[in-house]
Structure 1
Amino acid sequence: MQRTPFHLVEFSPWPLTACLGALFMTIGTASWMHGFRPTLVLVGLLVVALTAVAWWRDVVREGQLQGHHTAKVVTGLRQGMVLFILSEACFFAAFFWGFFHSAMSPAVELGSSWPPVGVVGLDAFSVPLLNTIVLLSSAVSVTWAHHSLLAQDKNGVVWGLGLTLLLGAYFTYLQSVEYLGSFFTISDGVYGSCFYVATGFHGMHVLLGSAFIFVCFVRAIYDGFSDAHHVGLESAAWYWHFVDVVWLFLFSFVYWWAGSGA
């Protein structure tokens, strides 16, 4: 008989394997930069991916099949997701801090201009504007999926999540095209560093969010959610909206404001 509303989890190997995978990726990346083969990086990625699949499987089993996700547990999961998103906001705030520090008072070495002398910025109203439309459309589709779930409309949930996945993949494709056609690289001073680090990490978050949405998509097909218990889909929607908001800041300042000659 359970005497507490909180779920006391069983012993699990997944925290250890996740840490080992992250360690392999860190050491492998550092070795790769010094001329070694990226074998250890690939091993680390594989370990982390398999750990994520197994860990998600256990969480789904605990909540959907075993009924351990009580109201108190769901509240804790929601609070954890909010805190995670806040930590991600601080992560991107550091990039914007570095960007504005250099852009609002360009050094003499940069020609006292932003973008620096010799660097041609990207046109904000070409691919970046299209990417903005794509991401905002994906925010609408994931919201449609959430509200369809509340209305017990399975088809709406599946179609909404599927459309979100397609729009996320299209965004990633457009960003890769943009990178290949840009006139500067990450080694072109502080401008290149700020641009590619900020937009690149955002692109990585789009990929992670797409994986999150994909898991929810598969679960929705197999009736893994109900109108009363859907904290996984809700968390995925929150994360996706966070990615959208970060992109609006990137488009407004890194592409538009900086490109116009701050």
Structure 2
Amino acid sequence: SMALTSHGYLGNNYMIIMCAMTMLYSMTLWFKDMMAESTYLGNHTLAVKKGLMQGFLLFVVSEMLIFASLFWAYLHSALNPSVELGMQWPPAGMEAMSAAELPLLNTMMLLASGVTITFAHHALINGNRKNTLYGFLYSTLLMIMFVGCQMLEYKFASFTMSDSVYGSTFFSATGLHGLHMMMLAMMLTMCTWRVYNYDFTN
């Protein structure tokens, strides 16, 4: 994983590369099918629309459950620290990451990307192609900057994934969120490309 690789563990780069290649290949095939059906055939069939809606709903529900379990693990350990943790949170001898530094910058980038993607959405509805392109482009750049800052955060963290429940819940939750941001950046890149090529204008 990215967290282990940033702390110098050997052999993890191969797994990251294999997983990234598999994901990129799957996304490429999915984007190709979606563009062919919606752009060149004119519209999705009712079965495809229903499948997309059900798939999106299932995705949202599964994401809610995954993140709820990660936050539950974190809060359970924080509110009821065990003897092994030194009866304190963060655990004894562990330096917590300051929320007023890089995490604050990441939060501001996420909020700014929410503003720019909303701007792009409204511009698309109003038929303003130029502002749609700018909104998608800025959102994509903010997502890429977020992932880069998260990699820096992992690189300079004073703890690793193997440092008690604090490290494992921190890297699991933020790593999963970072993965979502990488996938979103790829999807926004595809949307930007499609707007640029006049694939959709409203």
Quickly name the TM-score band, shorter chain normalised. Answer: 0.7 to 0.9
Any conservation in 1 of the 2:129–2:201 contact (CA below 8 Å)?
no
In structure 1, how many angstroms separate the alpha carbons of the residues matched to 2:13 and 2:151? 22
Residue 223, structure 1, aligned to residue 198, structure 2: yes
- Structure 1 counterpart of 2:44: 69
Identify which of 144, 152, 165 aligns with 2:127: 152
Unaligned runs of 5+ in 1: 1-32, 228-262
State the identity as a percent: 37
In structure 2, how many angstroms separate the alpha carbons of the residues matched to 1:195 and 1:79? 31
Cα distance change of structure 1 residues 38 and 121 upon mapping to structure 2, 3 Å threshold:
closer
In structure 2, how many angstroms separate the alpha carbons of the residues matched to 1:44 and 1:185? 22
Identify which of 87, 92, 102 aligns with 1:112: 87
Superimposed CA distance per residue, residues 52-101 of structure 1 (whole angstroms, 9 cap, x where no aligned partner): 21221112111211134156754552343233122111111111111112
- Structure 2 counterpart of 1:192: 167
Residue 163, structure 1, aligned to residue 138, structure 2: yes
Identify which of 70, 88, 108 aligns with 1:95: 70
TM-score, normalized by length of structure 1?
A: 0.68
In structure 2, how many angstroms separate the alpha carbons of the residues matched to 1:117 and 1:90? 30
Identify which of 31, 35, 51 aligns with 1:56: 31
- Say how many residue pairs are matched: 194
The 5 Å alignment of 1:7-46 reads 42-43=17-18, 45-46=20-21
Residue 124, structure 1, aligned to residue 64, structure 2: no
**Alpha-carbon offset, residue 140 of structure 1:** 0.5
In structure 2, how many angstroms separate the alpha carbons of the residues matched to 1:37 and 1:107? 31
- The amino acid that maps onto 2:120 is A
The structure with the largest alpha-carbon Rg is: 1
Cα distance change of structure 1 residues 86 and 134 upon mapping to structure 2, 3 Å threshold:
same
SS at match of 1:97: helix
Mean Cα deviation higher: 129-138 or 46-55: 46-55
Any conservation in 1 of the 2:133–2:192 contact (CA below 8 Å)?
yes
- The amino acid that maps onto 1:53 is T
**Alpha-carbon offset, residue 110 of structure 1:** 0.7
In structure 1, how many angstroms separate the alpha carbons of the residues matched to 2:16 and 2:157? 27
Any conservation in 1 of the 2:117–2:139 contact (CA below 8 Å)?
yes
Mean Cα deviation higher: 39-48 or 143-152: 39-48
- Structure 2 counterpart of 1:83: 58
TM-score, normalized by length of structure 2?
A: 0.86
- The amino acid that maps onto 1:130 is L
Cα distance change of structure 1 residues 97 and 123 upon mapping to structure 2, 3 Å threshold:
same
Identify which of 187, 192, 199 aligns with 1:212: 187
In structure 2, how many angstroms separate the alpha carbons of the residues matched to 1:162 and 1:192? 34
In structure 1, how many angstroms separate the alpha carbons of the residues matched to 2:168 and 2:37? 43
Cα distance change of structure 1 residues 44 and 73 upon mapping to structure 2, 3 Å threshold:
closer
**Alpha-carbon offset, residue 165 of structure 1:** 0.9
